[in-house]
Amino acid sequence: MRPVLNLPGMSESFDYIIVGAGSAGCVLANRLSADPKNRVLLLEAGGKDDWIWFHIPVGYLFAIGNPRADWMFKTDPVPGLSGRSLNYPRGKVIGGSSAINAMIYMRGQRADYDTWRQMGLAGWGWDDVKPLFLKQQDHVAGGEHHGQGGEWRVEHPRMRWQVLDAFADAADAVGIPHVADFNTGDNTGVGYFQVNQKQGVRWSSARGFLKPILRTRPNLKLVTGALVENVVLNNNRAAGVSWFRELNEDVEHHVSLAPNIILAAGAVQTPKLLELSGIGQGQRLKKLGVPVIHNSPGVGENLQDHLQLRPIYKVRGVPTLNEQYANLLRRPMMAADYALRRRGPMTMAPSQMGAFAKTNERHATPNVQFHVQPLALPKFGEALYRFPAITISVCNLRPDSRGSIHAHSPDPEVAPSIQPNYLATEGDKITAVESIRLVRKIVAQRALQRYSPEEFGPSAGLTTDAELAKAAGDIGTTIFHPVGTAKMGAAGDPTAVVDERLRVIGVEGLRVIDASVMPTITSGNTNSPTMMIAEKGAAMLLEDVKRA
């Protein structure tokens, strides 16, 4: 940890302090500062979104794995992935991971939220949360299932690919029907994703919820480069936060005070902050040398993520981004198309085509999601292969495996220990095998066979269940959807960290409002569900303060 060069104790008082200006934090800042009487402090450890690749959609290729944009976390070696350690990208900027993610607008399935309600979490069913999704939205077309006039812009992709249309026809041939909208509560089918863009520009949570109000609301203060050390607790009540930042060659230290503290640092950093504040499993905190303020054994546990398997197929006779990007003469044409028309490959999300399907009829709703890309690369952050190829990524939507994220050191600058524990259960291994077989079944259809697909990875020679299960461990990787590490639970749940109103159990004045509160992961991309949680969390907090 860097030495603090000037004296600590520089303090300022607010009504609300939000830790983290990511997907959830920007929504919270917007809603809590709407009343000019509320003084709101928003602390972000990353920087401002003043780099061009935060705004051009294809910039994810340059942002992921770049320390300017990505916290560059790595997992511990994962036994189920042949002992491999994975890169674990998280956005290092206002807007958080919504500034570097896939831009896919996805709510999940009705059953996801109804399951939360059935777990005893009143107010979290589909019919409860759908109006919140609608409130936030500014959908290009509107309609029964979409709102207009909100801050969260949603549009259709601005480019189609022949090879993706062929995939959709092949999926339809095996019983996955064409669908125009994945966001009605039943996402069964195949089609193009809707994306968080506006006229070909990435629409992050900072762009939608935060930046428009920064100059018009003097009651909202944003501080970037602010690393929070811990929540200041007084007799099991949150009183403020201790934080520091570099200023020129000095490091200035602050203790900011407020009666309402909200952790919105995300599923990776929030459990670490709780533990460094003395909230967590007692023995673990003692080993860190952190005084135990409140024993909460669920902190950092219950980590869930969507493990993606990325089968890659070489193709012939159809355009893909690989050979187009490799052609140095085409790159200026791509740039010109974007500059003049906001069209072409530079508007692309990482995945344009999606599909939701069942790998087996034992599932009541789709249990896997496809992200299909007209490109192929070893992993994000590395160069595209030079041969024409597509990637048919498939992930298990509702994994049985549970991992953990815990503070690795009492030093707030040290990254936490991340153990996703992928493929730890027999059920997850079975789903992985079934997923690869379903990919092959789709590729075998006439619509794709016309392009002579050749399996580049894992390998067409692997055919037995045991071989495919091992292959899944060899090629599986994160799809960047960590949730659940400060889970919401009903009264009597010993593993719950927060209650249904997102209050930290056993500590007054402290809430967690981000993806870490999900008790179970949603069936699809998790960014918009996280922002819905922030919408609901802000409303509940304001209601509770008004009643107090």
Catalogue the active-site residues.
Answer: 481
Q: Are 529 and 136 in contact (CB under 8 A)?
A: no
Sign of the C-alpha dihedral computed for residues 483, 122, 362 and 170 taken in this order: negative
* Buried b or exposed e, range 206-218, using 16+ CB within 10 angstroms: bbbbbbebbeebe
Distance (Å, whole) CA 181 – CA 515: 24
Please, which residues have CB within 8 angstroms of residue 162's CB and are 6 or more apart in sequence?
Answer: 318, 319
Please, which residues have CB within 8 angstroms of residue 145's CB and are 6 or more apart in sequence?
Answer: 134, 181, 183, 184, 185
Tallying the residues shown for the chain, one arrives at 548
Backbone angles phi, psi at 361, to 5 degrees: -70, 0
HSE (CB half, 13 Å, CA atoms) of 480?
Answer: 26
Residue 122: count of CB within 10 angstroms of its CB: 11
- Residue whose token pair is 């899944």: 472
Distance (Å, whole) CA 216 – CA 513: 25
Q: Are 350 and 60 in contact (CB under 8 A)?
A: yes
Q: Which residues pair with 455 in a beta bridge?
A: 313
The helix/strand count (H/E) of the chain reads as 15, 27
Q: Which residues pair with 303 in a beta bridge?
A: 403
The DSSP-derived string for 346-374 is GG--S--EEEEE-SSTT-SS--EEEEEES
Helix residue ranges per DSSP H, 379-455: 426-443, 446-449
Element (H, E) at 116: helix 110-118
Question: Going by DSSP bridges, is the β-strand pair 389-396/312-314 parallel, antiparallel, or unpaired?
Answer: antiparallel
Radius of gyration of the chain (CA): 23
